[in-house]
Amino acid sequence: MREIVPGICLAEPLGNADEMLARLEREVVVEDEIVDLGDGPVTMPRLTGWYGDPGAIYTYTGVTNHPRPWTPALAALRDQLDAALATRLNSCLIGIYRDGANAVDWHTDDEPELRDRIVSVSLGTTRTFQLREGAAGTPFAVPLEHGSVLVMTVESQRSWQHAVPPEPATGPRMNLTFRTIAPRA
């Protein structure tokens, strides 16, 4: 793995990215997600789907997500990542960026139920992943190419924010962020 900043690394890219993207496009269900960011309900600028083990319930931006069961392709990719990274991931947030206008603003993944690492797999068009230290840090860009695997520790989320800015000339991208969620009773 190549460290980008403390706690955030690029791992070896997937060797089966084309096959995995084709399988996932056939298997997963994603939908518009409506959140309230304080000014009333808005539709998120990407399609999302939440998958995982029973009990891997995840709340972010005021929305509580109950997992759909793993699809065969998602389970295979989870197992591949678990073996390569010596971890045990129990959930996955799928984000579909239909085109370069779909983006995600600055944020951290610092919800209390997160454990261990966040493993982000990018499939499709290369997109820019931006990082900055805190809200006032100088942003820098990391291109996430088809098959890229980005690994972030939960601890890194205390110091580093990230975003996927709009890139009008780019095509579709699927992002899978595998996580370990503390199960709810």
pLDDT tens figures, 38-71: 788 888 878 999 999 999 998 887 788 899 999 9
Provide the pLDDT for residue 130: 96
Sign of CA dihedral 50, 5, 162, 13: negative
Q: Domain holding 17: CATH number?
A: 2.60.120.590
> Per the structure block, which two tokens stand in for 78?
């989870």
Question: Per the structure, how many domains does the chain have?
Answer: 1
- Dihedral of alpha carbons 165, 156, 177, 14, sign: positive
Domain span at 45: 2-181
pLDDT-above-70 percentage for the chain: 98
Tell which wins on pLDDT, 33 or 152. 152
Distances (CA, A) of 5 to 129, 144, 162: 13, 15, 12
Residue 23: the pLDDT is: 97
Whether residue 15 has pLDDT greater than 90: yes
pLDDT at 147: 98
Which stretches does DSSP call E strand in the chain? Answer: 2-5, 8-11, 31-36, 41-52, 58-60, 63-65, 91-97, 104-107, 114-124, 127-133, 140-144, 149-153, 160-164, 173-181
pLDDT at 41: 83
Average pLDDT, the chain: 92
Pairing of strands 140-144, 114-124: unpaired
